[in-house]
A and B are shown apart, each in its own frame.
Chain A
Amino acid sequence: MKRAILLLATMLAPLTIASAGAQTVAITGGTLAIGDGSAPIEGGTVVIADGRILAAGRGVAVPAGAQVIDATGKWVAAGLVSAVTDLSLVDADGVSESNDAGARSAPFKAAIDVSVAINPAGVKLGNERLGGVTRALVTPNAGGSIFAGQGAVIDLGADPDAVMRARAFQFVELGEDGGRLAGGSRPAAYASLRDAFQQAQDYRRNPAAFDGRSRDALVTRGDAEALLRVLDGQVPLMVHVERASDIRTVLGLTRDYPRLKLVLVGVTEGWLVAREIAAARVPVIAAALADLPASFESLAATESNVGRMRAAGVKVALMGGGGQQGDHVIRQYAGNLVAITRVPGATGLDWGQAFAAITSGPAEALGMGADIGSLRPGRRADVVLWDGDPLELSSAPVAIWIDGRPQPMTSRQTELRDRYLTPTEGALPKAYERR
């Protein structure tokens, strides 16, 4: 009985929010950060209708009947998109019971589909939403194979409907990690990749003759189906590599598999091969500030990596935070790339490029830029109202809309904070202090 009531409550809540979302909203007078690479626009207006951006810019008319929100002195920005994150798959990374990011001993590899495990009610998701993150490219970790499986694009809205696109990309490891996962070397990783692709094609030619179910099958039927979607270019293949030579090798894969839609992830030494990446028109999701030779595959690490790739014409987005720091750290990463434009000899990004690298950048890497990642007309209305420059550390969101729906401005973290603003107990134990 109690459970039934609870269920009813959770069903009702999103309905209320949805009806609020139907209202046309005009946010006026703020500084606009569109997220498409353009510079901030002062004194602009954003109009949200039916969950989408109707218009954004200076001189945009407020539709009759719209709810008007005055953003004077504030910033109105595209919601942040965290790329390559385990957000919504994990409650606490070190608590293995709560962690669905990887499956070391599963027989399935490319077939793994994280969308079934997305938990929109996860505490982290609520915390990170409050940090201005509105979408995420949720990515599995590779466990027992170079293939990690299929990632999903989600929204961070406070509703049960989180998965926006399931099986949005396949993730594969082809650098040091790939070598380790394949049994000990890079050549083994490539042998593994080519064999898996070959088996997928065997499966297409003659599904009945395909094994795929015996205990020692290297590729299951589900794996084969997932890989065919990659080979056909229906699903992008995200490849984690760092070293310049590894990047070149991966770019060369399209000679044998011409329909592959590659997305490079990590890419610490990308600046050394930036022209080749640009010529291949392969988008990159890079670690923003990886400036240490953390491994022998990232000896050329520099904070200028992203800036130099961008200058060479590569489309670069930033990887998400995740882990200890939370996804909201991406705005700090982007801000630092602006900071180094003032360091002699370094190459960073201008403000518009840096902001795009954490909004439209990840969306465009998956070919979803027309739907999410910016305040351009027609996009889903993921809008964050900040009390200052969204890349600056002193700023925080004061209102958030996802798909045009207003979001709660509290989280478990704000509840803990409020409980312990005064650490000593009052008339009752702390356990009795709650909203």
Chain B
Amino acid sequence: MRLGHGARALATLAAVALPLGACATKQERPKSAAAKAPPEPYARDPYPSTYRPYPGVPTLVRNVVIFDGEGNRIDNGSVLFADGKIVAVGAAVEAPAGATVIDGQGKYLTPGVVDIHSHLGDYPSPQVQALSDGNEATAPVTADVWAEHSVWPQDPGFGRALANGGVTTLQILPGSANLMGGRSVVLKNVYARTMQAMKFPGAPYGLKMACGENPKRVYGSKNQKPSTRMGNVAVDRQTWAKAVAYKRKWDKYERDGGDMPDRDIAMDTLRGVLSGEILVQNHCYRADEMAIVLDMAKEFGYHVTAFHHAVEAYKIADLLKANGTCAAVWADWYGFKMESYDGIGENLAILEKSGACAMIHSDDENGIQRLNQEVAKVLSSARHAGIAIAPEVAWKWLSLGPAKALGIDRQTGSLRPGKMADVVLWNGDPFSVYTRPDRVWIDGALLYDAHDPKRRPVSDFELGQPGAGDVK
């Protein structure tokens, strides 16, 4: 139930076309019906992306080990990209006239890393109260807030994620204090003066939900509901019941016109979830709680796209698979709270072995700089547990898997011709601790080059401060 940019444009067109249709039928209807005002749908994209790819040059990287992000490996392969798109991937690709040719001897080439769980921009560095904008922890349901209205584009973390982690796309989420924390936003990891100019064109929105300890602790400590896990689910269900009614009302209005129902910004988001336009990204640790959430989704008619953190996902890999719900997890975080007590390093490996949809995520401004290493740790745990997973298959956890769970896999996430040229050249095996990005391209534009200090971003915040953005 994804809706990319093109699909959303179509949806808008259809909505715009509706009044015309209503007009066409109006004349055949009794006069009383003609009095109905035509529907005026509200804007689905009022803060639209103004991102434009930076210019690149046609580039051929050859003689390089390629993980294509779809599970394939090519040794001594070549990748050509031009005009911001992947052109060709294979054993031998000819360089067009004027192309920059890079010899990838000893290096690896992969799709850019996609992090489905980040708080860069809404919990930026420096971590001072004045910039702490990730949790609207004033009510347990704040589906009305949008993370993009908190994102500070000058977060130094974006540059570190690019240069050290090869991260080219990331989803910024509200925090997990609330049951329904608000909308997420997907960004291209390209510095800009405005949030809009970082927005991934056409990416669907997500709704951040949270179960477990955080909401019940935050509100329980204020002597408010929810203070228990059952309270969490009760508030969720009551809210979904309202959202179903809101959707019914607005669907009818946008179809038939008449008196415009009252607008509720929070309910707009939940209606978007119920109609499949907005993807549910659900913070949840414990296996039994995830199972309850899956039933709640069925009860109200929505789909959980992914459980995030999902420390116990390995215990219910079969259930997740059966529900088509992904798990976005750390490699080996554990033991920092009660609901993470059963974390193990094989979580992702057991999910993969069971055929469930799984991926790595960071939720951390340091971890996002090393997601390739986090996957390497999973591969090591897997191998030592007797689970065989090829490195090229594991790269799916870093790019195509998260791209799918963000609804942007037709645009990015693998080195398929026609997709965005979001590409990382690594100075060795990216699953070795001794490896770092050599170059990073986003939409074919070279935005990090280890050999050229001028191809390394310094955010406004760091400019003129000691160190100036780790370029020194």
Contacts and interface: CB of A to CB of B under 8 A. Distances in A.
Contacts of B332: 325-326
A351 to B, nearest CB: 9
B453 interface: yes
Interface stretch (A25-33, A71-79, A333-341): A333-341
Interface stretch (B26-34, B143-151, B232-240, B341-349): B341-349
Q: Sort chain A's interface into a size bin.
A: 35 or more
The dominant DSSP class at the A interface is loop
A293 B462 contact: yes
Given A326-B332, A332-B433, A420-B350, A92 B470 contact: no
A343 B450 contact: yes
B314 A292 contact: no
B220 to A, nearest CB: 14
Contacts of A336: 370, 373, 433
- Among B330, B344, B354, B436, find the residue whose CB has the most chain A CB atoms closer than 10 A: B344
B405 to A, nearest CB: 21
Contacts of B436: 339-340, 342-343
B156 interface: yes
Interface stretch (B67-75, B132-140, B268-276, B315-323): B315-323
B338 A339 contact: no
Interface in A418-435: 420-421, 423-424, 430
Nearest to A333: B433
A303 interface: yes
A127 B338 CA distance: 16
A34 B293 CA distance: 51
Given A94-B337, A293-B461, A396-B380, A300 B354 contact: no
A303 B164 CA distance: 10
B435 to A, nearest CB: 6
A124 B337 CA distance: 12
A332 B379 CA distance: 15
Given A338-B434, A393-B431, A92 B337 contact: yes
Nearest to B213: A94
Contacts of A391: 433
B89 interface: no
B228 interface: no
A413 B156 contact: no
A416 B433 CA distance: 27
A396 B384 CA distance: 8
A365 B439 CA distance: 38
Contacts of B431: 393-394
A393 B380 contact: yes
B224 interface: no
Contacts of B152: none
Contacts of A332: 370, 373, 377, 433
Contacts of B387: 421
Contacts of B450: 343-344
A272 to B, nearest CB: 7
A338 B428 CA distance: 13
Contacts of A124: 335
Interface string B420-443: 000000010001111110000000
Contacts of A244: 466
Contact of B373 (A295, A393, A413): A393
Interface in A89-122: 91-95
A20 interface: no
Contacts of A248: none
A423 B377 contact: no
Interface string A341-362: 0111100000000000000000
Nearest to A351: B434
A332 B330 CA distance: 15
Q: Which of A123, A296, A344, A417 has the most CB of B within 10 A?
A: A417
Given A335-B433, A345-B453, A394-B431, A293 B213 contact: no
B28 to A, nearest CB: 59
B465 interface: yes
B298 to A, nearest CB: 21
Interface residues of B, number: 63
B164 A291 contact: yes
Contacts of B385: 417, 421
A195 interface: no
Contacts of A340: 436
A301 interface: yes
B76 interface: no
A295 B466 contact: no
Contact of A92 (B336, B354, B466): B336
Nearest to A331: B433
Contact of B344 (A93, A301, A417, A430): A417
A324 interface: yes
B470 A301 contact: yes
B461 A335 contact: no
B24 interface: no
Contacts of A291: 160, 164, 369, 470
A392 interface: yes
Interface in A264-312: 269, 272, 289-296, 298-304
B472 interface: yes
Given A269-B466, A336-B370, A324 B333 contact: yes
B467 interface: yes
Given A302-B470, A302-B472, A423-B316, A92 B379 contact: no
A424 B379 CA distance: 22
A323 interface: yes
Q: Which of A244, A294, A335 has the most CB of B within 10 A?
A: A294
Contacts of A416: 342, 344
A127 B342 CA distance: 11
A417 B348 CA distance: 12
Contacts of B160: 291-292
Given A295-B127, A332-B433, A393-B433, A413 B345 contact: yes
Contact of B126 (A269, A293, A304, A417): A293
A423 B315 contact: yes
B314 A296 contact: no
21 contacts: A93-B335, A127-B335, A289-B369, A291-B160, A292-B125, A292-B157, A294-B125, A296-B126, A300-B467, A304-B470, A325-B332, A326-B334, A336-B433, A338-B434, A343-B436, A392-B432, A393-B433, A394-B376, A420-B314, A420-B350, A423-B315
Given A291-B470, A292-B160, A293-B465, 17 more contacts: A93-B335, A289-B369, A292-B366, A293-B156, A293-B462, A295-B126, A299-B467, A303-B164, A324-B330, A332-B433, A338-B433, A339-B434, A339-B436, A391-B433, A393-B377, A420-B350, A423-B316
Interface of B: 125-128, 156-157, 160, 164, 213, 314-318, 330, 332-338, 340-346, 350, 353-354, 365-366, 369-370, 373, 376-377, 379-380, 383-385, 387, 427, 431-436, 450-451, 453, 461-462, 465-467, 470-472
Shortest beta-carbon contacts, A-B, top 3: A335-B433, A94-B337, A300-B467
